A and B are shown apart, each in its own frame.
Chain A
Amino acid sequence: MAEIVKGERQALDARLRSLRRLALVPAYNEAESVGAVIAELRAVDPDMEILVIDDGSQDGTADVASAAGARVIRLPFNLGIGGAVQTGFRYAYENGFELVLRVDGDGQHDPAHALRLVQPVVAGEADIAVGSRFAGIEGYRSSRSRRLGIRLLAWTVSLLVGERVTDPTSGFQVVNRRGIALFAADYPHDYPEVEATVMVARHHLRRVEVPVAMRERWGGRSSIGALRSVYYMAKVLLALFVGLFRREVVPASEPR
């Protein structure tokens, strides 16, 4: 396994190095884990710029990230994951980045798997590569109730986009310039990945899923509690079905 990864790395390195690439880490009260995530990212790709979006944390996340050497954008108040991630894509768009690797600040996403995500995008086979917990590799898969919700969403989204989607809620993603431009212009709000999956399909971007193992979060608390997940389910399903009846997905505002 290590040998294969090593070979892959060498083959990809040349093309990867020529790209301006950004690691985008949205973080809300992740002071315990964000430093280690940054260290791991740097170990995987020392030349990649690391940008932490501090989504109005109260626990000093921004200072920890800054001390760990990441560039930090501090949102004045909590926007929710969608608004935070979009801020990062706006930054990437405006500063000419060609590749964005999205990694959560809580340690769930193992940057060591990032190379597998990067591969199809760098090879030009996909505009967006998504790490899926349910596409083969065993690992941490979230609580049972949440898995049920994810399966329902996966089924719905697969139906809508007309191809099999196993993990529509995964935020472990690699996105190329086309995807960056789209997400900078228009990105769904809280719990955005599901809607974004459908959005990506409607804009005819090529999406691939890559099997990954995820880890249990290192610290902090999930931003989504039990009652909230019911609310989010209802909201996401509403957004998906209403979205079907939009003639064209027009961005709310063009990035400048």
Chain B
Amino acid sequence: MTPLTVSIAGAVASVLLVLGVLELIRKRRLKERYALLWLLTGLALLVLSLWRDGLNTIAGWVGIETYPPAVLFAVATLFILLVLLDYSTAISKLADQNVLLAQRLALLEERLRGRKEPGEDLG
């Protein structure tokens, strides 16, 4: 069994995380697309904290004998890595779109400059 204090602390932290994320969505400071993974993280940690046999069970599966709550850290770390990886893909996509925008802008500007010259006397 997970020690009661660890269970309570873990649950409180997870709930705070979930509430914090929901609040950020409400204030439109976080897009739902990026919030989903965070919510999933919070919910997974909440379940692990409240399900007091869970940590021992999972610790048994993966062979953690000395300190079962370490599973909480492992799961949290895993989710953080997932979130970071998700960010890297998002940044890559933004970088590609940024290049495309710069190119299109430069091409358009050049075309505009070319068009202005013949009609310059029109103002």
Taking the closest CB of chain A, its distance from the CB of B30, in whole angstroms, is 27
Binding-face segment, B5-13, B51-59, B76-84, B101-109: B101-109
Q: Mark A72-96, 1 if CB is under 8 A from B, else 0.
A: 1111110100010011001100100
From B96, B103, B114, A75 is in contact (CB under 8 Å) with: B103
B102 touches A76 (CB 8 A): yes
B107 touches A73 (CB 8 A): yes
Contacts of A76 in B (CB 8 A): 102, 105-106
From B96, B103, B114, A87 is in contact (CB under 8 Å) with: B103
Q: Mark B110-121, 1 if CB is under 8 A from A, else 0.
A: 100010000000
Q: How large is the interface on B (under 10, 10 to 19, 20 to 34, 35 or more residues)?
A: 10 to 19
A interface, over-half SS: mixed
User: Is A253 interfacial (CB-CB < 8 Å)?
Assistant: yes
User: Is A42 interfacial (CB-CB < 8 Å)?
Assistant: no
Contacts of B99 in A (CB 8 A): 79, 83, 189
Which chain A residues (69-123) contact chain B, with CB distance < 8 Å? Answer: 71-77, 79, 83, 86-87, 90-91, 94
Contacts of B107 in A (CB 8 A): 73, 87, 90-91, 94
Taking the closest CB of chain A, its distance from the CB of B13, in whole angstroms, is 38
Contacts of B109 in A (CB 8 A): 73-74
User: Is B40 interfacial (CB-CB < 8 Å)?
Assistant: no
Chain A residue, CB-CB nearest to B113: A72
Contacts of B96 in A (CB 8 A): 252
Chain A residue, CB-CB nearest to B93: A252
User: Is B100 interfacial (CB-CB < 8 Å)?
Assistant: yes
| Interchain CA distance A143-B102 in the complex, whole Å | 33
Chain B residue, CB-CB nearest to A189: B99
Q: Mark A117-149, 1 if CB is under 8 A from B, else 0.
A: 000000000000000000000000000000000
Chain B residue, CB-CB nearest to A84: B103
Contacts of A79 in B (CB 8 A): 99, 102-103
A contacts with B, residue count (CB < 8 A): 18
A73 touches B100 (CB 8 A): no
A75 touches B106 (CB 8 A): yes
Contacts of B103 in A (CB 8 A): 75, 79, 83, 86-87, 90
Q: Mark A53-69, 1 if CB is under 8 A from B, else 0.
A: 10000000000000000
Chain A residue, CB-CB nearest to B104: A90
From B100, B102, B110, B114, A77 is in contact (CB under 8 Å) with: B102
Contacts of A86 in B (CB 8 A): 103
| Interchain CA distance A189-B103 in the complex, whole Å | 13
Chain A residue, CB-CB nearest to B103: A87
Most buried by B among A77, A79, A87, A94: A87
Most buried by B among A53, A73, A94: A73
| Interchain CA distance A55-B123 in the complex, whole Å | 30
Contacts of B106 in A (CB 8 A): 53, 73-76, 87
Chain A residue, CB-CB nearest to B99: A83
Taking the closest CB of chain A, its distance from the CB of B93, in whole angstroms, is 10
| Interchain CA distance A83-B97 in the complex, whole Å | 12
| Interchain CA distance A252-B93 in the complex, whole Å | 10
Query: Which 5 pairs of residues, A with B, have the shortest CB-CB distance?
Result: A87-B103, A73-B110, A75-B106, A73-B106, A83-B99
Known: A73-B107, A90-B103, A253-B100. 8 other contacts (CB 8 A): A71-B110, A75-B103, A79-B102, A87-B103, A87-B106, A87-B107, A91-B107, A189-B99
